[in-house]
């Protein structure tokens, strides 16, 4: 419905009503006033007629001519005309004209009605005087000179018109006053109604545009307007509070979204992204640029995921099939969950929430678990099989004739038992390290030179290492906070590996250096080296670069995994540099822990 301003709706209607009232009262007042004046004039004529009739009765001995002269004298000072008409319609007396010159009056309306005994008055044009007159005629009460006559008095209509003119003047003055009051009323309405309503409309428009900064005051003493304005102010206050609450909730939600490790994307019913978080930008390799405004087909390069999203967008009024799929994006694996936001109707679709949970670590751990189980089974199966086989040989074969072979078998069983014991010990060590997440409270200041010297001596005391060259370069006063037994185990593993996987004639070096807030320990050799493809995997449990050589050297495949865990517990880092045929260097960096 098309709206109109208040002045175009109310003012014309008020004007029509006011003009109608003015017209009605003007017509009514004019009519009543004219009727009143006419009745007054008629009453005056009746009074004059009675006076003349009485005078005629009192002077009836005179003839009509003498009566006419007398009546002329009586009416000389007024404009009253007196006429007497006999039953034949002949004018026998007239104060303004010679009766002999007048026509027969029997057809005059007032004369005709008077002879029919009907007193009457009439306004008509006089052909004799050529003016409009108001007549009043009646049959005389008594016969005159033996005949019943009609007596008629008249006066010029101009007398009434003069009275009417005064009425018109008064009515005109009243109309002007009425119109002036109407103008005052319009001004009053403008000041008391239109202007406050315009102010209310302006305030409402400001509120509609969410502009609540301007303090508006409505200058009106009308209770209704003040109540409306008060309600609007109260509503504005509530809206501001709700906007603040919504803004706070939005900021809190944004903080939650930004802090989520899960990638969150909201799609509108057309497939356009309307909300996302940093994890989503990272997942789709657009970090630093916004996903908002893009369509899902520009990002989702997985056919299965595209198909599920398309089905969700095409399906209206039905729930999304809660099938969680696993997709790979940029070397990461994600578990995807789709759901609708809000209540969906059969005619209107809602936005779609897509959550991608990064399960790369879980899948890696699952793979590590599977590999660990497989490797443990394989590593344990070998010594157990050997022990079982040689034990059965000793039990069920007669080796009494060959003591040397029996001794050889027992040495193999002992060797495999030691290997099995080493594997179990290393597994138990890993388990204890994994269960002890924070050992910092147990750390004490330790002398690195002393720990390194002890580790080197233990390795040198092993069979076959007596003649190996192991050099130490370390400040005797260099210290750090840590667990000396764990650090010693770490160094023993690294030094032992350096000795195992290098020629007897090549040296092994252990170098310590002091950094501003850290210490660095390097264990290097000039041995066989590690292929680049294996460097990232050497810290995995039971991973071997050269499986045959590792087993021959008596390794369990868990030493570097233990080293990695011990370094991590000391909040340190480990780096590996290696070239095949040139040797390997392990660099351990630890915080000194000074001042802690």
Cα–Cα dist 236/213, whole Å = 10
Angle of the 448-460 helix axis to the 484-500 helix axis, nearest 10: 40
Q: What is the pLDDT of residue 296?
A: 72
> What does the alpha-carbon distance between residue 150 and residue 114 come to, in Å, rounded to a whole number?
7
Q: What are phi and psi of 152, to 5 degrees?
A: -135, 135
Q: What is the share, in percent, of the chain residues with pLDDT greater than 90? A: 6
> At residue 336, does pLDDT exceed 60?
yes
Average pLDDT, the chain: 79
Strands (E), 127-249: 131-139, 150-156
Least confident of 77-91, 353-367, 520-534: 353-367
pLDDT the model gives residue 585: 92
In this predicted structure, the answer to whether residue 121 has a pLDDT above a threshold of 80 is yes
* Residue 404 in tokens: 């040397």
Tell me: pLDDT of 379 over 80.
no
The domain spans of the chain are 7-165, 260-358, 364-431, 439-591
Confidence of residue 596 (pLDDT cuts 50, 70, 90): very low
Please report the pLDDT score of residue 216 as a whole number.
Answer: 67
Topology of domain 7-165 in CATH is Beta-Lactamase (3.30.450)
In angstroms, the CA 401 to CA 403 distance is: 6
pLDDT in tens, 490-531: 898 899 888 888 888 899 999 999 888 889 999 999 988 888
Name the band, by pLDDT with cuts 50, 70 and 90, for residue 128: confident
Distance CA 124, CA 113 (A): 15
Q: What element of type H or E holds 265?
A: strand 263-267
- The CA-CA-CA angle for residues 224, 228, 233, to 5°, reads 145
Tell me how crowded residue 541 is: count the other CB atoms within 10 A of its CB: 20
Range in 69-78, 273-282, 351-360, 499-508 with the lowest mean pLDDT: 69-78
The class that CATH gives domain 364-431 is mainly alpha
Q: Each residue of 427-445: pLDDT tens digit?
A: 777 676 666 655 666 788 8
Residue 327 has pLDDT above 80, yes or no: no
* β-strand partners of 153: 82, 136
**Would you state the structure tokens that stand for residue 74, as one six-digit string?**
């009586």
Per-residue model confidence (pLDDT) at position 520? 92
CA distance 219 to 217: 6
Residue 432 CB neighbours (<10 A): 10
130-142 pLDDT, tens per residue? 888 889 999 988 8
Q: What is residue 268's predicted lDDT score, i.e. its pLDDT?
A: 85
Length of the chain: 596
pLDDT, average across residues 181-198 = 75
- Helix, strand, coil proportions of the chain in percent (round to 5)? 50, 20, 30
CA distance 438 to 434: 10
Tell me the per-residue pLDDT of 46-60, one tens digit each, with 9 for 90 and over. 888 888 888 888 876
| Backbone angles phi and psi of 433, in degrees to 5 | -65, -40
341 in Cβ contact with 264 (< 8 Å): no
Poorest-pLDDT segment among 27-31, 408-412, 561-565 = 408-412
Other beta carbons less than 10 A from residue 71's beta carbon: 23
Q: Is the sign of the CA dihedral 382, 383, 389, 392 positive or negative?
A: negative
Burial of residue 577 (CB within 10 Å: 0-12, 13-18, 19+) is middle
Question: pLDDT grade, residue 586 (50/70/90)?
Answer: very high
| Mean pLDDT along residues 195-210 | 76
7-165 and 260-358 share one CATH topology? yes
Q: Which residues contact 416 (CB under 8 A, 6 or more apart)?
A: 382, 383, 384, 386, 387
C-alpha 16, offset from chain centre = 47
State mean pLDDT over 388-409: 74
Sheet with 81-85, strands from edge to edge, namely 91-94, 81-85, 150-156, 131-139, 120-126
Q: How far is CA 558 from CA 199, 480, 567, in A?
A: 83, 26, 14
Q: What's the pTM value of the predicted model, to 2 decimals?
A: 0.45
Per-residue pLDDT for 401 more than 70? no
At residue 594 the predicted structure's pLDDT band, cuts being 50, 70 and 90, is low
Q: Which of 577, 581, 396 is nearest to 503 (CA)?
A: 581
Stretch 188-193: mean pLDDT: 70
Domain 439-591 has CATH 1.20.1200.10: no
Alpha-carbon gap, residue 94 to 69, rounded angstroms: 9
Read off the pLDDT of residues 462-491 as tens digits, 9 standing for 90 and up.
888 888 888 999 888 888 888 888 888 889
Q: For domain 260-358, give the CATH number.
A: 3.30.450.20
Res 587: pLDDT: 92
Q: Is the pLDDT of residue 396 over 60?
A: yes
């Amino acid at each position: 419905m098309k709206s109109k301003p208040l002045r175009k709706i109310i003012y014309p209607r008020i004007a029509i009503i006011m003009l109608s009232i003015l017209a009605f009262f003007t017509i009514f007042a004019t009519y009543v006033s004219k009727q009143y004046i006419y009745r007054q004039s008629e009453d005056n004529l009746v009074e004059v007629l009675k006076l003349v009739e009485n005078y005629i009765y009192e002077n009836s001995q005179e003839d009509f001519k003498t009566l006419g002269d007398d009546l002329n004298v009586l009416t000389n000072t007024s404009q009253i005309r007196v006429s007497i008409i006999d039953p034949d319609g002949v004018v026998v007396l007239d104060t303004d004209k010679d009766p002999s010159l007048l026509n027969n009056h029997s057809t005059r309306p007032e004369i005709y009605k008077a002879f029919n005994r009907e007193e009457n008055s009439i306004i008509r044009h006089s052909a004799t005087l050529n003016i409009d007159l108001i007549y009043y005629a009646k049959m005389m009460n008594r016969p005159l000179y033996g005949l019943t006559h009609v007596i008629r008095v008249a006066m010029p209509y101009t007398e009434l018109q003069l009275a009417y003119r005064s009425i018109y003047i008064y009515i005109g003055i009243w109309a002007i006053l009425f119109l002036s009051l109407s103008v005052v009323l319009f001004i009053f309405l403008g000041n008391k109604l239109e202007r406050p309503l315009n102010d209310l409309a302006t305030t409402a428009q400001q509120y509609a545009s969410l502009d609540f900064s301007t303090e508006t005051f409505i200058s009106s003493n009308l209770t209704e307007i003040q109540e409306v304005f008060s309600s609007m102010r109260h509503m504005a206050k509530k809206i501001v509070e709700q906007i603040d609450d919504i803004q706070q909730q939005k900021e809190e939600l944004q903080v939650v979204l930004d802090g989520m490790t899960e990638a969150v994307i909201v799609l509108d019913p057309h497939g356009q992204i309307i909300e996302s978080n940093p994890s989503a930008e990272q997942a789709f390799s657009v970090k630093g640029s916004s996903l908002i405004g893009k369509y899902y087909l520009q990002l989702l390069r997985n056919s299965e995921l595209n198909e599920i999203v398309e089905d969700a967008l095409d399906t209206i009024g039905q729930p999304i099939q809660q099938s969680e799929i696993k997709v790979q994006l940029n070397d990461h694996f994600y578990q995807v969950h789709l759901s609708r936001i809000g209540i969906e109707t059969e005619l209107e679709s809602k936005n779609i929430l897509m959550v991608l949970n990064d399960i790369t670590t879980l899948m890696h751990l699952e793979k590590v678990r599977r590999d660990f189980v497989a490797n443990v089974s394989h590593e344990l199966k070998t010594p157990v099989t050997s022990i079982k086989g040689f034990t059965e040989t000793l039990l069920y074969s007669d080796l009494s004739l060959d003591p040397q072979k029996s001794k050889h078998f027992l040495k193999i069983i002992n060797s495999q038992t030691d290997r099995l014991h080493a594997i179990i010990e290393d597994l138990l060590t890993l388990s204890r390290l994994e269960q002890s997440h924070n050992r910092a409270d147990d750390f004490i200041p330790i002398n690195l030179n002393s720990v390194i010297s002890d580790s080197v001596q233990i390795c040198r005391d092993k069979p076959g290492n007596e003649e190996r060259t192991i050099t130490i370069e370390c400040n005797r006063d260099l210290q750090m906070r840590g667990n000396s037994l764990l650090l010693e185990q770490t160094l023993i593993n690294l030094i032992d590996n350096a000795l195992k996987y290098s020629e007897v004639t090549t040296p092994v070096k252990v170098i310590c250096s002091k950094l501003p807030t850290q210490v660095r320990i390097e264990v290097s050799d000039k041995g066989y080296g590690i292929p680049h493809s294996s460097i990232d995997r050497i810290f995995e449990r039971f991973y071997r670069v050269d499986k045959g050589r590792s087993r021959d050297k008596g390794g369990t495949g868990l030493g570097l995994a233990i080293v990695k865990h011990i370094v991590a517990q000391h909040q340190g880092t480990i780096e590996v540099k290696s070239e095949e045929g040139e040797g390997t260097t392990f660099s351990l960096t630890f915080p000194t822990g000074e001042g802690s």
